[in-house]
Amino acid sequence: MNTYIQFAAIKFRNNMAYRFEYLMGILNTVLNFIVYCCIYKALYGGANEVDGITFSMVTTNFIISLGLTNAFSKNEMFLQDKIKQGTIANELLKPVNFKFRMLFEDMGDGLFKVIFNFIPAVLIAMVFTQIQPPAGILNFTLCLVSAVLGYIVLWYISFIVQTWSFWLFSVWGIVTIKNVIINICSGALLPLWFMPEPIMNIIRFTPFDSIFFTPVQLYLGNLQGCEILFNFARQLLWIVILYFAGEFFWRRGIKKLVVQGG
């Protein structure tokens, strides 16, 4: 395990070498938040709530989702680049689990962005609006646990798409489409409270709402008793499904892999 932690640490330190980049990351996060707040202030038209959804709930949803987006940072071209460069063969010969290496490098990247991008941006953003506190210590703890499960769900979705690099010349377009769908259907951009019920019924059959929206719901105390257990069960079920799907594509891709050169 210490080996994989070192991969995360190296990725974290590498990011620190580009100070201008992470300063721009803070600026980008702050601008995203300000633009989002301005849009929803206009939509709310001075009202405190719409259909029982208060403005503070909306901004809190966005801030948590923004924080998780930073924490869930991934290099979605990692596998494709290794295949194109032909270095994938050497990587597979190393005495480390290739997927664990990908995971821990992504975790190191995410930790860096939370500390140096998101936290400073939130402190600045708090000047402009009020962030709703968690419904309680238990709710906050459940939110963190759910966020970890949501991260695993999102990482496996990304991993599955990356494995298609074994068959496709480039997965960039698919990754872009996937990210747009996730941003919309997970509640990261548009809170799912405002989604029409027919669309929500479809989203509930996907893993997307369990990535961001479930942690937000737990943070705000909108889920109680059996609802909490049900949502945790959904996250765990999707992790199992996506794990086996990822293993299927990975094993098929490795068998198909041909590397030329010397």
Q: For 163-205, how does the pLDDT look when each residue is reduced to its tens digit (9 = 90+)? A: 999 998 889 999 999 999 998 999 888 889 888 899 999 999 9
- In angstroms, the CA 101 to CA 81 distance is 15
Burial class of 211 by CB neighbour count within 10 A (0 to 12, 13 to 18, 19+): buried
Domains held by the chain: number: 1
Percent of the chain with pLDDT over 90: 38
Q: Is the pLDDT of residue 260 over 70?
A: no
Q: Is the pLDDT of residue 261 over 70?
A: no
The mean per-residue pLDDT over the stretch 122-131 comes to 74
pLDDT of 116 reads 82
Residue 119 belongs to some domain of the structure:
yes
Range of the domain at 186: 2-256
pLDDT of 258 reads 62
Split at pLDDT 50, 70, 90, the class of 208 is very high
Question: 214-253 in b/e burial notation, b at 16+ Cβ within 10 A?
Answer: bbbbbbbbebeeeebeebbebbeebbeebeeebeebbeeb
Higher-confidence residue of 18 and 142: namely 142
pLDDT of 202 reads 92
pLDDT of 259 reads 57
pLDDT of 11 reads 83
The mean per-residue pLDDT over the stretch 249-262 comes to 75
Instruction: Quote the tokens at residue 159.
Output: 């991993």
39-48, 84-93, 207-216: which range is least confident on average? 39-48
Split at pLDDT 50, 70, 90, the class of 262 is very low
46-55, 91-100, 101-110: which range is least confident on average? 46-55
- In angstroms, the CA 121 to CA 69 distance is 13
- In angstroms, the CA 239 to CA 162 distance is 17
Split at pLDDT 50, 70, 90, the class of 211 is very high
Query: Is the CB of residue 149 less than 8 Å from the CB of residue 72?
Result: no
- In angstroms, the CA 55 to CA 171 distance is 38
Residue 54 belongs to some domain of the structure:
yes
Residue 45 belongs to some domain of the structure:
yes
Residue 261 belongs to some domain of the structure:
no
Residue 262 belongs to some domain of the structure:
no
Residue 101 belongs to some domain of the structure:
yes
In Å, how far are 7, 84, 124, 136, 150 from 170, measured between CA atoms?
Answer: 26, 9, 38, 46, 26
